Amino acid sequence: MITDLLKESLKESRGYSELRYHKRDTFNVSVKDGKIDVLNSGIIEGACARTLIKGSWGFSSTTLLEKDKINQILKDSTSLAEASKPRKKRAVKLASAKPYVDKYETPMKTDPRKSGKEELVRLVIDIDKDVRGFSKKIASDTVTFNIVDDELAFLSSEGAEISQRIVRCYGNVMVIAREEGNIASAYESIGEESGLEVLKKTPLGNVGKTAAERASKLVSAKVAPGGLYHVILENRIVGLLAHEAIGHCAEADLVYSGSFLSDKIGKEVASERITLVDDGRFPGGFGTMKYDDEGVPTQRTVLIDEGVCRSFMHSRETAQHFDVSPTGNARAWNFEYDPIIRMRNTFIEASDYSLEELAEDIKEGFFLKGGLSGQADFNGEFMFGTQEAVKIENGEFTESLRGVTISGNAFEVLKNVDAIGEDFVMRTGMCGKEQVNFAGIGGPHLITKVLMGGMK
C-alpha cells in the first residue's frame, strides 16, 4: 500500500513534512464531424514531499514510487528548504489544523470504473450526429467527453492521513456554422464532480443543441456595439463574474500583495443584494473535495455577505498571517505542484426575479449569453468573453448579435447590480493561476452595467 510507504518515510521527517500521492486516470473521447478524433486513456502517477523547516518551504516530486525514491524526495524537500532559507525574507508559519484521519469518495450512482467505454463512445457519436443535423448551416463540430478519476493521499508529520477519490465527468460541444462567406462558432459545456449520471442530469446533447442553435443564429448576425450598457448576465456566465471580478482578489495571497479588497473586511464592496460564496463542498461542484491539499477540511466560505466583505480564502500559511482559521483553499493541480490558494466553487446566491421580470426594467441593453475566457487584475479590473448578445428594447428581447468581451471594475459592477434572478446554475470552469485547476462557477441571471468591447 502506497500510504504505508509514505507513512514509513514520514518517520524520517525533520520540521513539518507532507507527503502526497496522486494517481490520475483519464479517459477522453472526441468526435469531430462524425468521426472519432480522439480516443484516449492514460495514467499519470506520482508522489511529492513538502517540508517546512525554520520558516522555509522545500518541495520535490517523483514518478517513481519505490521506498528509496520516496525517502529521497523527502530528503530533497528538506535540503531545498534549508538551502533557500537565506534568500527568503519572510519566515513562514502555519495556522494550526487538526490532523484528520479520513477517507472520502465522490458520491456516485454510476462509477465510470465499472462501466464499459463502448457505450460512451456511442453516445458521443450520436450527439455529434444530432448536432450536425440541427441545421444545414453547420459546417463542423466537435463533441468531447472526459473522465478524470483522481486518487489522492495526504499524510503529514502531524499525523494526518487522508485518502480521497475525486471523480469528475465533463463534456463540451463546439460548433462552427457557415453561410455566404461568414463563419460563427459557439461552445457549451456540462460537468460535475460525479459519476456518469451527470449525463442523465444534464444531457450533453442539450448543450449541443444550444451551441448548434447559437452558431446557426449568429452566422449572419452583426457584432454587438461598444460602450457602457445595462446588461442581464445569463446564469451560465454569472459565475465568471463571481470568479474573475471578486474571486481572485479575495485569494489571501493576492490580498497580501495589495488587491483592491485588502482593506475591505467589514466594509461594503457590493450592492446589498450580493452574497458571494466560495464553497468547497457544493454537491457536484467541479471544485468540490472534502479536504484540500494541505489536509484542511473544505468549507463554505462567505466572501461577501449582503454586500459586505466578510472573508478571504486561505491556506494554512496565509491564515496564520491574517490570524484567522484556514478555509481549505490550498489546492495543487497534481503531484508535481505545491498547493496554492485556489477557488473551489464560487457563486453568487440566487434571489427571486424571473428572467422576464429582470428584462422589464431595461429600456436599452443586452442579455449576454455563453461564456469565453476571462482574466482579472488585482486592482479589480476584470474581463470575460461572451458569445451572444441579445438586444433588449423596452423590456423585450429582440435581435441576437455576436457577443463581445465585457469589462469593468469589480467594485462598480457589483454596486450596479440592480436585481438578481431566481434560476441558479453551477457550471464547470478551468482556472489558470500559475497551475491550472478545476473550479466550479455559478449564479443566477442578474442585472448590472458593463463596458462592452463591441464595434461601431
Site for other proteins in 299-318 (CB under 8 A): none
The region of 110-118, 346-354, 360-368, 424-432 touching other proteins under the rule CB under 8 A is 110-118
The number of residues that bind other proteins (CB under 8 A) is 80
Please report, as residue ranges, which positions from 404 to 443 form the binding site for other proteins (by CB under 8 A): 404-405, 407-409, 434
Exactly one of 2, 125, 265, 355 binds other proteins (CB under 8 A); that residue is: 125
What are 103's strand-pairing partners? 163
Quick one: 95 or 184, whose CB is closer to other proteins?
Answer: 184
Q: For helices 67-84 and 2-10, what crossing angle results, to 10°? A: 40
Closest CA to 214 of 403, 28, 27, 65: 403
- Site map (CB under 8 A) of other proteins, residues 129-148, x = contact: ----------xx--------
444 binds other proteins (CB under 8 A): no
62 binds other proteins (CB under 8 A): yes
φ and ψ at residue 321, rounded to 5 degrees = -65, -40
Exactly one of 402, 415, 427, 445 binds other proteins (CB under 8 A); that residue is: 402
From residue 76, alpha-carbon distances to 4, 13, 248, 286, 338 in Å are: 20, 11, 32, 33, 14
Helix intervals (H) in 178-323: 198-201, 204-218, 235-240, 252-256, 316-322
| CB contact burial 89-107 (16+ within 10 A = b; e otherwise) | eeebebbebeebeeeeebe
Contact 273, 305 (CB under 8 A): no
In angstroms, what is the minimal distance from the CB of 359 to other proteins?
23
Exactly one of 117, 136, 201, 267 binds other proteins (CB under 8 A); that residue is: 117
Closest CA to 136 of 180, 197, 196: 180
| Residue 154: Cβ-neighbour burial (10 angstroms; 0-12, 13-18, 19+) | buried
Quick one: 42 or 266, whose CB is closer to other proteins?
Answer: 42
- Site map (CB under 8 A) of other proteins, residues 332-361, x = contact: ----xxx-x---------------------
Quick one: 46 or 429, whose CB is closer to other proteins?
Answer: 46
Within 10 A of 158 (CB to CB), how many other CB atoms are there? 16
Quick one: 10 or 404, whose CB is closer to other proteins?
Answer: 404
Exactly one of 115, 373, 394, 398 binds other proteins (CB under 8 A); that residue is: 373
Exactly one of 8, 12, 40, 394 binds other proteins (CB under 8 A); that residue is: 40
226 binds other proteins (CB under 8 A): yes
Quick one: 63 or 96, whose CB is closer to other proteins?
Answer: 63
Exactly one of 88, 103, 129, 267 binds other proteins (CB under 8 A); that residue is: 88
**Grid coordinates belonging to 441:** 462557477
What are 101's strand-pairing partners? 161
CA distance 154 to 296: 10
65 binds other proteins (CB under 8 A): yes
Exactly one of 13, 61, 78, 189 binds other proteins (CB under 8 A); that residue is: 61
- Site map (CB under 8 A) of other proteins, residues 242-281, x = contact: -----------x--xxx-----------------------
From residue 314, alpha-carbon distances to 5, 87, 213 in Å are: 30, 24, 42
Quick one: 324 or 355, whose CB is closer to other proteins?
Answer: 324
Q: Sign of the CA dihedral 65, 68, 74, 79?
A: negative
In angstroms, what is the minimal distance from the CB of 304 to other proteins?
21
- Site map (CB under 8 A) of other proteins, residues 178-217, x = contact: x--xxxxx--------------------------------
Counting every residue written for the chain, the total comes to 456
The region of 99-107, 283-291, 359-367, 377-385 touching other proteins under the rule CB under 8 A is 377-385
Quick one: 181 or 266, whose CB is closer to other proteins?
Answer: 181
Quick one: 417 or 420, whose CB is closer to other proteins?
Answer: 417
What are 220's strand-pairing partners? none
Task: Render 287-334 in DSSP notation, one character per residue.
Answer: T--SB-TTSPBP-EEEEEETTEE---B--HHHHHHHTS---S-EE-SS
35 binds other proteins (CB under 8 A): yes
In angstroms, what is the minimal distance from the CB of 206 to other proteins?
23
Quick one: 1 or 43, whose CB is closer to other proteins?
Answer: 43
CA distance 34 to 142: 9
